[in-house]
Each structure stands twice: as structure tokens, then as C-alpha cells.
Amino acid sequence: ISSSQTLSKLEALECHFTWVKETTRSQLLAKRVELEDIGTDEGNFWLGSIYNLWGFVLYELGSSKEAHRYFRKATETLQRLKKEDEGPWLMVNYGNLAWLHHHLGEEAKSQDYLSKVEALKSKSPCQEELHPEIYAEKAWTLMKFGKDNQLLAADYFQRSFKMQPHMVQWQSSRVIALSSAAKYWDTGLSDDVLQEIRTAREQDPENLYVAAVELKERGRKGESVKNEAETLGQKILLQPVSSYSGLKPLLRLHRELGSLDKAIVLTEEALERHPDERYLKRCAALCYKWKVLMFTADRADQRTIERAIKLHEEVVDLYSDTSFVKKIDLACVQAKSSQGREIAYQMFQDLLASRALDSDDKQLLYYNYARYLHFDCQDSNESIRYHLKSAEIQNSTFYGKLSVKLLQKICERGRSRMCPEIREFLENLPEDDSE
């Protein structure tokens, strides 16, 4: 077969090498960290998919040998979970291996995997549509790559679930994708989606992440869910540590219910059980940050601030590949400590001097620095300047939109001498098409 024929066959495959385009190194490092935090507990329904994505990320980061090891782990895991040696659930994995061997110049092995994919495809009952197993894995992969893919992922999950309604995990993953996408909407979730979340919770009662999402949405609607939240917290403590255990959405629920102390107690209890788990340290640091930033500096309890600083310092070290956001959080927490104000100032200066920042990172930094200037330095004019810098970055993130809202409020109040400049800026701001 000619090399051009081989390439067109490879490009027609449904696998990570054709699904995931244009990723930056920092995004890939973030994915690797995310996969490490999901964990590889044997009970994880998505374990084969985790190893598949992990292999792809490692290849993109330049570790072909490690990538091959993870793709082989995916093969073995899928065979073990499905209790069969061959099946449509291996098509994505074989596609990845075909691409990997092609990139390594091992064309015979690449052809071998292409043939295996063809053989599995020929057994598929529906030739026009993708097999539901492929839709599901494609959805699971896409939901890991940014807010723009969440709704597409939800749609693919729905297609796979309609074809195989007994796979309740696909329905659960659909509602997780929808609730993740909703973080970027101003409208919240529709009644139809809320009903889907309730149904998913009933059909997949073991999925505590879905349980936490469902409670969070009911709490938002004004239902009393405090007792259920406490019961769920105790259940989560008994589970293996994972970013999909349901802990984080439950902590956010506690925050919305005004029970941050309960969230802190829960994370401290989890850390007592698993003192070396970095994901739990990250969750605890998040709760302490919320607690510390809720108060003005003179009202915050010094012991709470010290615990917050210690946890954030550990988290920065434990997540060295993706420490940028964590360093911003640490600077924000440091600023609330009487001894840490100089440290916070220097940290922000170092972060502002970073050269390799993409626009999302800059927006996050400018927004947080603007808040620091306003609340901790009482420098409202300089704060406004950084909100302007945050707001002018196109394709606004959540933080850019917050900066715009804040600038609009300052204009409405009309007390700042910078109001004419802000007004002119807002009038010239292009319509945001990232919705």
C-alpha cells in the first residue's frame, strides 16, 4: 500500500490522533495532571479510556515509549473489563496504536492495527453511524478538552446512550458534561437538564459525583439539602481518592449553602485518612482560600490564614507542571496575612513578568491582580487599569466577563475619576461571540 493510501486510512480513523487537534504544551501538562488526579482505581468504569488518553498525551509530550506502554495498558484493561479479547471497544485503542507505530516508522505494525480496526468495523451492525462504544469514548475524551467541547460531548453521550440504554454510566457522563458547560452560562440549567440529572442519579446510584451535582442544583433552586450533603460527604470519604469522587462539587455546594466550615472539616477528615494525596490537599486549599478571601484582612483568623498558606505552598510544589493558577491563589492568600503582604506583592510581580503566558492565563492574572490592588493595596485606579487589561483580551474567559461587569458597575456608580475612560472602553468593546 502506498504511503498516501496509508495516511488517508489513518486520518479516517476514530481515535485520539484525529480527535484532538492543536494543543499547547501547557494544556497537555494540565491533562496529564488531570489524569493522575482521576486515579487508576480498578473500579473505575473509564479506566481503559483513561489509559488511552494518557498514552496520547504522553506521545504528544514526546514520550513515545511511555505512550506505547499506556496504549498497551488500555488494551489489557479493556479486555479485562469486557471479559473478551476482541470487540468494538478496542477500535479507538487500535487506531491509536496504528498512528503511534506509523509515527515511529514501524509501518508493518501500523498496517497490522489498521487491519484489526477494519475487521472490527466490518462486524459492526450499523455502518453509517459510529458504534456507541466509539461515540462514548469520543465524548469522554472531548469533554476533557475545554468548554467548547462540553456540549458536543454531551450530544455524543446521548447518541451512545440511546443506542445502548443499559449503559447508565454514559448517561451519567452526559449530565456531568452538561453541568460543566453550565458554569459558563448566565442562565443556569434548564428544567429538562435538571430532570436528566435526577434520572441519572436514580439509574446510577453508585456515582457519587452525579449525586453531588444533583444536590448542588437542588440547593441552587432553594431546596433544603444540608442533611443530604452531610450524608453524601461521609459516603465520599469511604471511596478511593479521585477527582471524580464527587468531593469538589460537594464542597462548592457547602460554599453556596454558607457552610464553609463543614467543607473544611470534610477535607481535613479526608486528609487524615489519606495524608499524602495531593488532590485532597488541593481541595482543602480551595476551601481555605474561600474562607480567607471571604473576609477583610483584619477579620480573618490568623491560624486559618496560616493553614491556607501552608496548604497552598504544598499544592504549588505538588503540581509543579501546572503551578501557575496555584501561585496566583497562594499570592491572594498571602496578601491576607500581616507578614505576607510583601511576599504577595513580589509573587504578583514575578507572575506579571512571566513571558510564556497565553491569553487565558493573562486574563486570570490581571483579574486577580486587580482585586489584590483594590482590596489589599486600596489602589482603586491601578485596580481599574488591570480590569481594563483583563477585559480587553478577546474571547473572554469567565474572568474577563467578571472584569467587564465590574467596570460597568463602577461606571454606574460614577464616583471614579476614571469613569470617562471606562465608558469609552466599554462603548468600543466588541460583542462577545464566545457564548
- Considering only CA atoms, which of 71, 215, 45 is closest in space to residue 140? 45
Is pLDDT at 172 greater than 90 in this prediction? yes
Between 65-69, 127-131, 305-309, 405-409, the lowest mean confidence (pLDDT) is in: 127-131
pLDDT level of residue 435 (50, 70, 90 thresholds):
very low
Is pLDDT at 177 greater than 50 in this prediction? yes
pLDDT level of residue 295 (50, 70, 90 thresholds):
low
Q: What is the average per-residue pLDDT within 370-382?
A: 95
What's residue 298's pLDDT? 53
Query: pTM for this structure?
Result: 0.93
With left for phi above 0 and alpha for psi between -120 and 50, is residue 22 left, alpha or beta?
A: left
Q: Answer for the pair 277, 41: CB distance below 8 angstroms, yes or no.
A: no
pLDDT level of residue 199 (50, 70, 90 thresholds):
very high
pLDDT digits (tens, 9 = 90+) for 117-167: 999 998 877 667 899 999 999 999 999 987 779 999 999 999 999 999 999
pLDDT level of residue 297 (50, 70, 90 thresholds):
very low
Is pLDDT at 353 greater than 50 in this prediction? yes
How many CB atoms are located within 10 Å of the residue 290 CB?
17
What's residue 434's pLDDT? 47
pLDDT level of residue 296 (50, 70, 90 thresholds):
low
| Burial call 371-402: b when 16+ CB within 10 Å, e when fewer | bbbbbbeeebeebbbbbbbbbbbeebbebbbb
Cα dihedral value 138, 143, 147, 150, nearest 10: 70
Q: Answer for the pair 408, 419: CB distance below 8 angstroms, yes or no.
A: no
Task: Give the span between the Cα atoms of 385 and 36, in whole angstroms.
Answer: 38
pLDDT digits (tens, 9 = 90+) for 87-118: 999 999 999 999 999 999 999 999 999 999 99
CATH of domain 1-123: 1.25.40.10
Task: Give the span between the Cα atoms of 414 and 166, in whole angstroms.
Answer: 59
Q: Provide the total of helices (H) and of strands (E) in the chain, helices listed first.
A: 23, 0
Long-range contacts of 301-304 (CB under 8 A, 24+ apart): 302/337, 302/338
| CATH T-level topology, domain 127-204 | 1.25.40
pLDDT digits (tens, 9 = 90+) for 212-236: 999 998 998 889 999 999 999 999 9
DSSP letter at 159? H
Is pLDDT at 1 greater than 70 in this prediction? no
DSSP class per residue in 359-380: HHHHHHHHHHHHHHHHHTS--H
Kindly list the domain boundaries of the chain, sorted by start residue. 1-123, 127-204, 357-435
Q: Which comes out higher in pLDDT, residue 71 or 40?
A: 71
pLDDT digits (tens, 9 = 90+) for 235-286: 999 999 999 999 999 999 999 999 999 999 999 999 999 999 999 999 999 9
What's residue 233's pLDDT? 97
Question: Identical fold at 1-123 and 127-204?
Answer: yes
